[in-house]
Amino acid sequence: MNYVTVHDKTFQPFLSEAEIQQAVSRLGKAISKDYKGKNPLFIGVLNGAFMFCSDLLKTLEIPCEVTFVRLSSYSGMESTGEVRSVVNLHEDIEGRDIILVEDIVDTGLTMQKALANFGTLKPNSIEIASLLVKPDCLQCELDIKYKGFEIPEKFVVGYGLDYDGLGRNFKDIYQLKQD
């Protein structure tokens, strides 16, 4: 893996495709075991989670359904703190087992808002699967049952994660290089 430039910033290699896929398989196995005999509905949070959600579902050994919502709290490299829901859910989730699929949990406000919103729709259960978690940035109590990696408080791109629109298509994950 080499350094990459996205817009005006340089990023250094952080997690390789192989490391990511290994973590995704581990999470898929755990979910397949926990939801054996069930038909969970995965709700992928766009745009960032599209790649993780796709790979995660390919590793599952159980029947499942998938849909997507868009909840956004980021502008550039900063969390704005205010979560805007852009695309709403059309499925009836009452009585369903829901797994929210997120690329990265930073302040946790996006997932907290999603849990609160979807909780009012009376699902049977809701859990969170996040590929990345920045524990030092969390601003609320959040139970993240399926976690790929805990990472430090540095901005990352790749594997679905962007820097102002670019970088989502990288197979690996890169971390902002310190000047």
Rounded Cα gap, residues 12 and 115, in angstroms:
33
Residue whose CB is less far from ligand 5GP, 106 or 172: 106
In angstroms, what is the minimal distance from the CB of 153 to ligand 5GP?
A: 9
Site string for ligand 5GP, 59-98 (x = CB under 6 A): --------------xx----x-------------------
Nearest to 14 by CA among 28, 24, 6, 4: 4
Rounded Cα gap, residues 83 and 69, in angstroms:
13
Give the range of 3-11, 28-36, 53-61, 100-108 binding ligand 5GP by CB under 6 A. Answer: 100-108
What is the set of active-site residues? Answer: 106
Nearest to 149 by CA among 6, 8, 16: 16
Pair 107, 139: CB distance under 8 Å? yes
In angstroms, what is the minimal distance from the CB of 133 to ligand 5GP?
A: 9
Residues numbered 107 to 146 that lie near ligand 5GP (CB under 6 A) are 107-110
Residues numbered 18 to 37 that lie near ligand 5GP (CB under 6 A) are none
- Does 161 help bind ligand 5GP (rule: CB under 6 A)? yes
Q: What is the dihedral of CA 23, 26, 28, 34, to 10 degrees?
A: -140
Burial class (CB in 10 A: 0-12, 13-18, 19+), 33: exposed
Rounded Cα gap, residues 33 and 77, in angstroms:
36
Residue whose CB is less far from ligand 5GP, 104 or 129: 104
Residues lying near ligand 5GP in the complex (CB under 6 A) are found at 45, 48, 73-74, 79, 102-110, 155-157, 161-163
